[in-house]
Structure 1
Amino acid sequence: MITIDGSEGEGGGQVLRYAAALALLTGEPFTIANVRGGRAKPGLMRQHVTALEAAAAVGSAECSGLTVGSRELTFRPGSVVPGEYHFAIGTAGSTALVVQTVLVPLMLADAPSRLVIEGGTHAASAPPFEFLSQTLLPVLERMGPRLSVTLDRHGFYPRGGGRIMLDITPAPLTAIACMERGTFKAGKVEALVAGIPFDIADRELKAARKVLADWPDDAFAPVQLSAELGPGNALLITAECEHVTEVMSAFGQIGIPAERLAKTAAKRMAGYLGSGAFAGPYLQDQLLLPFAMAGQGAFTTVKPSEHSRTAAALIARFTGRQFSFGEDAEGRWLASLG
């Protein structure tokens, strides 16, 4: 039984998701005390409960302490059972973070799976649907599995109600190296609005254009969604490169000017493009687990986040496999296994 202090490292939901995925992959049970102890509101939130319920369902696991607000839990995995699953978060909690919890175990199962997940698809503190479809899954497909995700309905905070469908055809994982992102091919900035004033989209696009001044005017576009999906707003900044597509995002929040959110996201994209690295700040921690299960691999990235260092520490505890992070002469960071 592995014992984890949930306040260490990233101190939030990342610890829960990675621990559950690793338990399914290794068969090692774990217990967590002080769940999300590094957050202003510690304990399990609804999206964390759903993520662990999903892990328990696909992994035939027993899980105690699985209630909203719980500060302690124990997870005892069984065998991963592929199949068709439907998980409803019931809030705007992230559908992508539920995917993160069960994706790699199902990629290594002995038969295909289909997941239908309802909740938030475009909400703060989580990757949007486009990150899954355009950034993460295409990289993972290079390792062997076939992965397809579709967006049936947008889900914004606070309403939620989004719906995605993910099809997974498993395969043994082949180790890959992702060192160069290649030539920049195209950029796109989309401002999604639903049930809110349309001028918010214009303001976001103008702010992003000031930062990404070398992108052509036709790269910036507003997207009007049905008012019944709102209220909601998301800014999606996509950079398509030869070997990887990166997505940066920002989400409308009451009390924060649209221009500030857009400027921050655009600066984040500009920083990524200026780094020369393959993986941006959100892709980096998503690659650690599949690379670890492949047994080897390396990728260049921007400065490692606390999420990534926490994930690497958990991988080492469950598997004994160690990632190293080091900066190269060009200012990129290299994450490598071994």
Structure 2
Amino acid sequence: MIIIDGSEGEGGGQVLRYACALSLMTGEAFTIGNIRGGREKPGLMRQHVTAIEAACVIGGAECTGLAVGSNSISFRPGRVTPGDYHFAVGTAGSTALVLQTVLVPLMLADAPSRLVIEGGTHAMAAPPFEFIERTLLPVINRMGPTISARLVRHGFFPRGGGWIEVDIVPAALRPVECAERGALRRVGATAILAGIPFDVGDRELKTAAKTLPDWPPESFVTRQLPADQGPGNALLLEAVFDNVTEIMSAFGKIGVPAERLAKTAARRMAGYLACEAFAGPYLQDQLILPFAIAGGGHFSTVKLSQHTLTAAALVERFLGTGVRFAEHEDGAILVEVGRS
């Protein structure tokens, strides 16, 4: 039984998602206390409960203490079974974070699976659907499996109501090298609006354009969704390279000026573009688990996040796999998985 302090490292829901996935793949049971001890509102939220429930369903696992607000659980895995699954968060909790909990175990199963996940697709503190589809999955697919994802309906905070579908054709994971992102092919900025005044998106795009002055005017566009999918707003900044696509995002929030949100996202994109690294700040931690399961590989990235350091610590505890970080002269970090 592995004992985990949920307040250490990243101190949030990532510890839960990684622990559940690793437990299903290794057969190691775990207990975690002080759940989300590093957050303003500790304990399990609805999206965390759904993610753990999903892990229990696909993996025949038993979990005690599982309830909204709980600060400790014990998780005992069973056998991962592929199939057709439907999970509903019931709030605007992230569909992407539920997917991350079950994705790697299912892509190592002995038959294909299909997932339907309902909840938030574009909300704070979680990757938007486009990041999963265009940034993460292409790297995973290079490693062997074939995974495709579709956005059926957008879901914004606080209403939710989003719907994604994911098809997984499993395969053994092979190590890959992701040190070079290649040449920049195109860029784009999209302001998505649902039941929100057009002016909000226009202000976001104008602010982003000031921080990214080299981007052509035609790359800034507004997309209006049916009002019944809102109210909601998202800004997506995309840079497509030969070997990777990076997406930075911002989400409309009551009381926060559109200009402030757009400026923050644009500065993050500018920082990434100024570096030569393959993985941006939000892709790096999501590559640790599949690379560890593959038994090796490496990628270059920007400044390390607490999410990444926490992910590295967890794969070492469950798998005994080391992760080595080496800084290059240009500021990029080389992450080597499988090295002690």
TM-score (norm: length of structure 1): 1.00
Aligned to 2:44: 44
**CA deviation digits over 1:291-312, x for unaligned, max 9?**
0000010000001100000010
RMSD over equivalenced CA pairs, Å: 0.5
Instruction: State the one-letter code of the partner of 1:63.
Output: C
Q: Take 2:205 and 2:33, find their aligned partners in 1: how far apart are those partners?
A: 44
Residue 107 of structure 1 pairs with residue 125 of structure 2: no
Paired residue secondary structure (1:117): strand
TM alignment of 1:24-39, pairs within 5 A = 24-39=24-39
CA contact (8 A) 1:304 1:325 kept: no
Size of the aligned set, in residue pairs, is 338
Paired residue secondary structure (2:38): coil
% same residue: 67
Q: Take 1:188 and 1:329, find their aligned partners in 2: how far apart are those partners?
A: 29
Q: Take 2:213 and 2:255, find their aligned partners in 1: how far apart are those partners?
A: 27
Aligned to 2:253: 253
Aligned to 2:302: 302
Q: Take 2:17 and 2:37, find their aligned partners in 1: how far apart are those partners?
A: 15
Paired residue secondary structure (2:122): coil
Q: Take 2:165 and 2:52, find their aligned partners in 1: how far apart are those partners?
A: 18
Aligned to 1:60: 60
TM superposition shift of 1:226: 0.6
Aligned to 2:174: 174
Q: Take 1:41 and 1:330, find their aligned partners in 2: how far apart are those partners?
A: 38
TM-score (norm: length of structure 2): 0.99
Aligned to 1:151: 151
TM superposition shift of 1:215: 0.6
Aligned to 2:282: 282
TM alignment of 1:92-103, pairs within 5 A = 92-103=92-103
Paired residue secondary structure (1:20): helix
TM superposition shift of 1:330: 1.6
Residue 319 of structure 1 pairs with residue 313 of structure 2: no
Residue 9 of structure 1 pairs with residue 9 of structure 2: yes
Q: Take 2:196 and 2:114, find their aligned partners in 1: how far apart are those partners?
A: 34
Instruction: State the one-letter code of the partner of 1:289.
Output: L
Aligned to 2:85: 85
TM superposition shift of 1:123: 0.2
User: Gapped runs of 5+ residues in structure 1?
Assistant: none
Q: Take 2:275 and 2:304, find their aligned partners in 1: how far apart are those partners?
A: 13
Instruction: State the one-letter code of the partner of 1:151.
Output: L
TM alignment of 1:198-277, pairs within 5 A = 198-277=198-277
**CA deviation digits over 1:40-74, x for unaligned, max 9?**
10000000000000001111000011100001100
